[in-house]
Amino acid sequence: MRLYDEHYDEVHSFCARRVGRSDADDAAAEVFSVAWRRIDEVDATLARAWLFGVARKVVLNQWRSSTRRSRLLDKARVAAGASPEQPDAVVVRRAEDEKVLRALATMRTGDQEILRLAAWEELNGPEIAVALDISVAAVQQRLHRAKKRLARRLTEETS
């Protein structure tokens, strides 16, 4: 499957940045399973962006499942008398990256996703539009606003 050969590494990286390396294999496999079932719907010129859109939905589903599982484990620990575990701290190499990640984490999920698609996945406006299933004009507007909000948060953090 040419689609798989051309885009697997990028889709896997996309998933790994969002759910971690341990779950990225499963997420990427699910993305290409969906692609296989819906191959007739894939426009060859926008296949990469379409795959990112599918990957985004798969990752969101994994997050929801993980959150439910984590809450259940926390309840079980509390019921057993143990305190809930705190989430692991994200370790980054540079102080600037840490500031950006902290500011990004305080933003709405939609802002985070559009900024990640533009910066981390290097998708352009039309590709982001396909991935998020919105118009190019909406992408431009949302991306512009998200960048302004991120800049504001970064400024607030340093002052």
3-state helix vs strand vs coil in the chain, percent to 5: 80, 0, 20
Share of the chain above pLDDT 70, in %: 81
pLDDT at 73: 67
> Per-residue pLDDT for 88 more than 70?
no
For 151, counting Cβ atoms within 10 Å of its Cβ (0-12 exposed, 13-18 middle, 19+ buried), the class is exposed
Q: Quickly state the pLDDT bin for 64 (edges 50, 70, 90).
A: confident
**Phi/psi of residue 122, each to 5°?**
55, 40
More confident residue, 23 or 76: 23
What is d(CA 58, CA 61) in angstroms, rounded to the nearest whole number?
A: 5
Q: With CA atoms as reference, report the closest residue to 51 among 34, 63, 37, 64.
A: 34
For 67, counting Cβ atoms within 10 Å of its Cβ (0-12 exposed, 13-18 middle, 19+ buried), the class is exposed
Give the number of other Cβ atoms within 10 Å of residue 42's Cβ.
15
What is d(CA 35, CA 7) in angstroms, rounded to the nearest whole number?
A: 11
Which tens digits make up the pLDDT trace of 133-146? 999 999 999 999 99
In sequence order, the 6+-apart residues with CB closer than 8 A to the CB of 64 are none
Instruction: For CATH 1.10.10.10, list the domain ranges present in the chain.
Output: 89-159
CB 128 within 8 A of CB 73: no
What is d(CA 67, CA 159) in angstroms, rounded to the nearest whole number?
A: 34
State in words which class domain 89-159 has. mainly alpha
Give the number of other Cβ atoms within 10 Å of residue 102's Cβ.
14
Q: Does domain 1-88 have CATH number 1.10.1740?
A: yes
For 138, counting Cβ atoms within 10 Å of its Cβ (0-12 exposed, 13-18 middle, 19+ buried), the class is middle
Instruction: For CATH 1.10.1740, list the domain ranges present in the chain.
Output: 1-88
Q: What is the mean pLDDT of the chain?
A: 84
